[in-house]
Chains A and B, each alone.
Chain A
């Protein structure tokens, strides 16, 4: 669209969200493979050559018996990536409506509400995953296994901002409806 070419902010937003979505899809695929791999390994279905190799590489720390512990945080990460993908997809659709020149719609208000709940959910899963990560770490001797996970208040604030924005857009849509039919 012509407006896109003349609007560097919109173009940047579209490109960035596309890149992020591709990255998230790749992340989901990688985590999916990882989860399947861990399940296979912990069920002892790996060929001995591979499981021996893992045991050697990890100095005997990771064995088929305790590999399942890794599964829980992996699942947490997978859920977070999926939720993030949903979030960025909604955002991409909103950016499209801005490009079309008609952003104040009930649909966008709905998208913002959904994005707010997703942001909250991501923070919650992140919190649970970090606790799981800590728990898994403690099952091993210190320093042998490390999980990095963050919990920040930023996500909660983001969710609040999005809820308020959804209200703003709902009101904007109402005002736009009233304006329609004014000549």
Chain B
């Protein structure tokens, strides 16, 4: 399972930029409020994360006052996240 998914990029989209902009918050400020390093948040924001813990998801949703579905999207083949 692991080696297959490594070769192609994930279809999961992280919409952290939009949420931060809407809440007028910087990544640094978010990192200070949740117990996540700036480095990890950066990895998440740039779409390089391979997995996210529920605890991380919970902390972000708490601070940005959003639902997981606001933060994460799925882009099927030929779709964009907005279409779904």
A binding-site residues for B, Cβ under 8 Å: 178, 180-183
Contact = CB atoms under 8 A, between A and B. Distances in A.
A178 B41 CA distance: 18
Chief secondary structure at chain A's binding surface:
loop
* Chain B: number of interface residues, binned into ranges: 10 to 19
A178 B43 CA distance: 15
A36 B67 CA distance: 79
Nearest to B57: A183
Nearest to B41: A183
Contacts of A181: 43, 48-51
A180 B44 CA distance: 12
B28 interface: no
Interface string B1-31: 0100000000000000000000000000000
B52 interface: yes
Nearest to A177: B2
20 contacts: A178-B50, A181-B43, A181-B48, A181-B49, A181-B50, A181-B51, A182-B49, A182-B51, A182-B52, A182-B53, A183-B36, A183-B40, A183-B41, A183-B43, A183-B44, A183-B49, A183-B51, A183-B52, A183-B53, A183-B56
Interface of B: 2, 36, 40-41, 43-44, 48-53, 56
A49 B69 CA distance: 95
Contacts of B36: 183
B72 to A, nearest CB: 12
Q: Find the residue from B51, B52, B53 having the highest chain A CB count within 10 A.
A: B51
Contacts of A182: 49-53
A53 to B, nearest CB: 71
A181 B47 CA distance: 10
A178 B50 CA distance: 8
Contacts of A180: 50
Contacts of B49: 181-183
Nearest to B60: A183
B36 to A, nearest CB: 7
B75 to A, nearest CB: 19
Contacts of A183: 36, 40-41, 43-44, 49, 51-53, 56
A57 B76 CA distance: 90
A183 B53 CA distance: 6
A182 B52 CA distance: 5
Contacts of B53: 182-183
A178 B51 CA distance: 9
B66 to A, nearest CB: 17
